[in-house]
Amino acid sequence: MKKLVIASDIHGSAHWCANILKRFQQESEGFAPAEVRLLLLGDVLYHGPRNDLPQGYAPKEVIAMLNPLRDRIFCVRGNCDGEVDQMVLDFPIMAEYAVFELFGRTVYATHGHHWNAQTPPPLCHGDALLYGHFHIPMCEDVELKGGAGRFTVLNPGSASLPKNGTPHSLMVWGAEGVRWLDVQNDEVFMRWNGSKS
pLDDT digit string (tens) for the chain, length 197 residues: 999 999 999 999 999 999 999 999 999 999 999 999 999 999 999 988 888 899 999 999 999 999 999 999 999 999 999 999 999 999 999 999 999 999 999 999 999 999 999 999 999 999 999 999 999 999 999 999 888 899 999 999 999 999 999 999 999 999 999 999 999 999 999 999 987 65
pLDDT score of 196: 61
Residue spans per domain, the chain: 3-192
Domain spanning 3-192 has what CATH number?
3.60.21.10
Q: Phi first, then psi: what are they for 129, rounded to 5°?
A: -110, 115
The model's pTM: 0.96
pLDDT score of 2: 96
Q: Which long-range contacts (CB under 8 A, 24 or more apart) does 147-151 make?
A: 148/124, 149/124, 149/125, 150/125, 150/126, 150/197, 151/120, 151/123, 151/124, 151/125, 151/126, 151/127
Cα–Cα distance, 89 to 67 (Å, whole number): 6
- Please name every residue paired with 187 in a beta bridge, in sequence order, or none if there are none: 182
pLDDT score of 148: 86
- From residue 41, alpha-carbon distances to 30, 110, 128 in Å are 25, 6, 14
